[in-house]
Amino acid sequence: MGFPKTRLRRLRRNETLRRMVRETRVSPDDLIMPLFVRPGAGVKSEIVSMPGNYQFSTVTLVEEAKSIEAAGVPAVVLFGIPEKKDALGTEAYADNAIICRAVEGVKKACPSLCVITDVCLCEYTDHGHCGVVKENRDGVPDVDNDATLDLLVKEALAHARAGADMVAPSDMMDGRVGAIRAALDEDGMSDVPIMAYSAKYASAFYGPFRDAAESPPQFGDRASYQMDPPNAREAMREIALDIEEGADIVMVKPALPYLDIIRRAADRFDAPLAAYHVSGEFAAIKAAAANGWIDERRAALEILTAIRRAGADLILTYWAKEAAKWLTERP
Ligand code: PBG
């Protein structure tokens, strides 16, 4: 049944036909919007390397959350920037933690918006690493896995007690999903789901986020805890372990350079799969668009479609609010 009987162009002739045979769709329901919150009043300061994204204070954050919900996006993920940083990141799990105040404010104004919190220490530590730094057996400062677990557990509990609908550990310590699950269950919060940053790579694409969250490592890098980019089978082991430890949603991060990992994970696991289209991926398109080199809207929708086509159910993206608007207006 080859040419000329078969003509694949027949079903591409017009937009109606293309709509009918489209294999992959992106809906606002698939999107999660990251937001940054810091102490202060009336703060809305644009992140230079992430145009259209801001650091908010709690009240301005609530306004933004309302408009995100109104655009049809079901969820936000919150990142906190503390007043003061210290070696143990104590403001991550303090009673009056910035994130906890933010969660309370957003939940009050938007009760049906799903409020997810990022659970990690790098925004709160003065050294910028995702855990407790100790000398390792070679005498080199490194993040101590098991000492970090206790702090992550405290942080997740503080977020959940403040009303977070879901917690999302992004630190890449071994065993943190199990530790957080056990602590939530013991604290009467067995119905709070965990979205695990399961296959999170030591990527060059996190730069703009580290500006936004003021969280770059002050020495070294994150290669001893985040995954090595060449590894794919290891990602399957990370995801399998997180599911075993009780993760409800698993994540691959970043997205575009790791579409093969997303596809493998979607084929292998039945848990809902998220992908994080990260700050550097977003900033690159924004910069090209600002120069007139690329059409931002078309590029963004093509990228989001590609991530869904690779097998992701959910996408964390800085385009979430805008994309939800683009997706609901007819071309
Ligand atoms: C915290 C965290 C990071 C990102 C999400 N959670 C930064 C990092 O690991 O350095 C990056 C998100 C982005 O680049 O958009 N550990």
- Taking only the tens place, the pLDDT of each residue in 195-222 is 999 999 999 999 999 989 888 999 999 9
In this predicted structure, what is the pLDDT of residue 331?
59
Question: Is the pLDDT confidence value at 330 over 70?
Answer: no
In this predicted structure, what is the pLDDT of residue 103?
98
Question: Is the pLDDT confidence value at 277 over 70?
Answer: yes
Tell me, in angstroms, the distance from the centre of ligand 1 to residue 210's CA: 7
The one-letter code for the residue type at 170 is S
Substitution site in 32, 50, 120, 316 for ligand 1 pocket (most atoms within 8 Å of beta carbon):
120
Sequence-distant (≥ 6) Cβ neighbours of residue 299 within 8 angstroms? 285, 288, 289
Confirm or reject: Cβ of 170 under 6 Å from ligand 1. Answer: yes
Q: State which ligand 1 atom lies nearest to the alpha carbon of 172.
A: 16
DSSP helix/strand/coil, 258: helix
Question: How far apart, in whole angstroms, are the C-alpha atoms of residue 159 and residue 149?
Answer: 15
DSSP helix/strand/coil, 17: helix
Question: Is the pLDDT confidence value at 101 over 80?
Answer: yes
**SS in 3 state form for 50-90?**
CCCCEEECHHHHHHHHHHHHHCCCCEEEEEECCCCCECCCH
In the chain, what are the domain boundaries?
25-328
Confirm or reject: Cβ of 120 under 6 Å from ligand 1. Answer: yes
Substitution site in 209, 253, 281 for ligand 1 pocket (most atoms within 8 Å of beta carbon):
209
Query: Which residues are the active-site residues?
Result: 200, 253
Q: Mean pLDDT over residues 96-106, rounded?
A: 96
Confirm or reject: Cβ of 77 under 6 Å from ligand 1. Answer: no
In this predicted structure, what is the pLDDT of residue 95?
81
Question: How far apart, in whole angstroms, are the C-alpha atoms of residue 329 and residue 262?
Answer: 28
Token couple for 45: 């300061």
Percent of the chain whose pLDDT exceeds 70 = 99
Cis peptide before 82 (omega within 30 of 0): no
Q: Mean pLDDT over residues 114-137, rounded?
A: 96
Confirm or reject: Cβ of 78 under 6 Å from ligand 1. Answer: no
Atom 8 of ligand 1, residue of closest alpha carbon: 206
Tell me, in angstroms, the distance from the centre of ligand 1 to residue 231's CA: 19
Atom 6 of ligand 1, residue of closest alpha carbon: 170
| Check whether domain 25-328 has CATH 1.10.10.10, yes or no | no
Please give the backbone phi and psi of residue 229, each rounded to the nearest 5 degrees, phi first.
-50, -35
Q: State which ligand 1 atom lies nearest to the alpha carbon of 226.
A: 9
DSSP helix/strand/coil, 132: strand
Q: Mean pLDDT over residues 278-297, rounded?
A: 98
| Burial class of residue 270 (count of CB atoms within 10 Å of its CB; 0-12, 13-18, 19+) | exposed
Q: Mean pLDDT over residues 42-65, rounded?
A: 96
